[in-house]
A and B are shown apart, each in its own frame.
Chain A
Amino acid sequence: MSEGIQHFEEHRDDEASKLGMWLFIFTELLLFGGLFLVYSVFRMQYAQAFYECSLELSVLIGAINTVILLVSSMTVAMSMTALQKNDIKSSLLLLGVTLFCAAIFLVNKYFEWGAKFHHGLYPGSELMKLLDRGHHLYFSLYFFMTGLHALHIIIGMTLLFICVFRIKNKSIHSQDYVFLENSALYWHLVDLIWIFLFPLMYLIS
Chain B
Amino acid sequence: MSHVSEKVEYVSYLEHQGKYKGIMSWIMATDHKRIALLYMYSIMSFFFIGIVLGIMMKLEMLTPGETIMKAKMYNSVFTLHGILMIFMVVIPGLSAVFGNFFLPIHIGAKDVSFPKLNRFSWWIFVIGSIMAVLSQVLKDGPPDTGWTFYAPYSTTTSSNVIMATAAAFVLGFSSILTGLNFIVTVHQLRAPGMKFFNMPLFPWSLYATAWIQLLATPVVGITLLMLIAERAFHIGFFDPALGGDPLLFQHLFWIYSHPAVYVMMIPAMGAITEIIPTFCQRQIYGYKAIAISSLAIAGVGFLVWGHHMYTSGMSDTARWFFSLLTFIVAVPSAIKVFNWISTMYKGSIDIKPPFLYALAYIFLFIIGGTTGLLLGSVATDVQVHDTSFVVAHFHYIIFGGMGFAFFGAIHYWLPKMYGRMYDFKMANIGLVVNFIGFNLLYFPQFIIGIQGMPRRYFDYPAKFQPAQIVSSIGGFILVIGIVIMVYTLVKGARKGAPAPANPWQGSTLEWQIPSPPSVENFDEEPIIKSNPYDYK
Q: Which one of B92-100, B179-187, B308-316, B492-500 contacts A? A: B179-187
Q: Which one of B121-129, B232-240, B474-482 contacts A? A: B232-240
A interface SS class: helix
Known: A16-B184, A20-B184. A7 touches B235 (CB 8 A): no
A15 touches B188 (CB 8 A): yes
Q: Is A68 an interface residue (CB 8 A)?
A: no
Give the distance in Å from the alpha carbon of A38 to the alpha carbon of B224 in the complex. 13
- Least Cβ–Cβ distance between B365 and chain A, in angstroms: 30
Counted as pairs of residues, one from A and one from B, with CB atoms less than 8 Å apart, the total is 114
Give the distance in Å from the alpha carbon of A164 to the alpha carbon of B183 in the complex. 30
Q: Is A35 an interface residue (CB 8 A)?
A: yes
A124 touches B218 (CB 8 A): no
Beta-carbon contacts under 8 Å, A21-44 to B: 23-24, 26-28, 30-35, 37-38, 41
Beta-carbon contacts under 8 Å, B459-499 to A: none
Known: A7-B18, A20-B114. A30 touches B8 (CB 8 A): no
Q: Can you list, as one digit per residue, whether each of A152-184 has a CB less than 8 Å from chain B (1) or not (0)? A: 000000000000000000000000000000000
Give the distance in Å from the alpha carbon of A61 to the alpha carbon of B160 in the complex. 40
A41 touches B30 (CB 8 A): no
Known: A16-B114, A144-B229. A27 touches B9 (CB 8 A): no
**Interface residues of A, CB < 8 Å — how many?**
36
Contacts of B31 in A (CB 8 A): 7
Give the distance in Å from the alpha carbon of A176 to the alpha carbon of B461 in the complex. 71
A13 touches B113 (CB 8 A): yes
Give the distance in Å from the alpha carbon of A52 to the alpha carbon of B57 in the complex. 53
Q: Is A133 an interface residue (CB 8 A)?
A: yes
- Least Cβ–Cβ distance between B120 and chain A, in angstroms: 13
Chain B residue nearest to A7 in the complex (CB): B519
A32 touches B520 (CB 8 A): no
B252 touches A34 (CB 8 A): yes
Known: A5-B16, A144-B226. A23 touches B180 (CB 8 A): yes
Q: Can you list, as one digit per residue, whether each of B159-203 has a CB less than 8 Å from chain A (1) or not (0)? A: 000000000000000001000110110011100000000000000
Give the distance in Å from the alpha carbon of A27 to the alpha carbon of B174 in the complex. 13
B226 touches A38 (CB 8 A): yes
Contacts of A4 in B (CB 8 A): 8
Contacts of B216 in A (CB 8 A): 30
Contacts of B232 in A (CB 8 A): 123-124
Q: Is B248 an interface residue (CB 8 A)?
A: yes
- Least Cβ–Cβ distance between A202 and chain B, in angstroms: 21
B11 touches A5 (CB 8 A): yes
Give the distance in Å from the alpha carbon of A6 to the alpha carbon of B219 in the complex. 40
Q: Is A63 an interface residue (CB 8 A)?
A: no
Q: Is A121 an interface residue (CB 8 A)?
A: no
Q: Is A130 an interface residue (CB 8 A)?
A: no
Considering the complex of A and B, which 10 residue pairs feature the smallest CB-CB distances, nearest first? A133-B243, A34-B222, A123-B233, A124-B233, A31-B218, A30-B218, A140-B235, A16-B188, A16-B113, A27-B218
B contact residues vs A (CB 8 Å cutoff): 8-9, 11, 16, 18-19, 30-31, 111, 113-114, 117, 176, 180-181, 183-184, 187-189, 214-219, 221-223, 225-226, 229, 232-237, 242-245, 248, 252, 255, 518-520
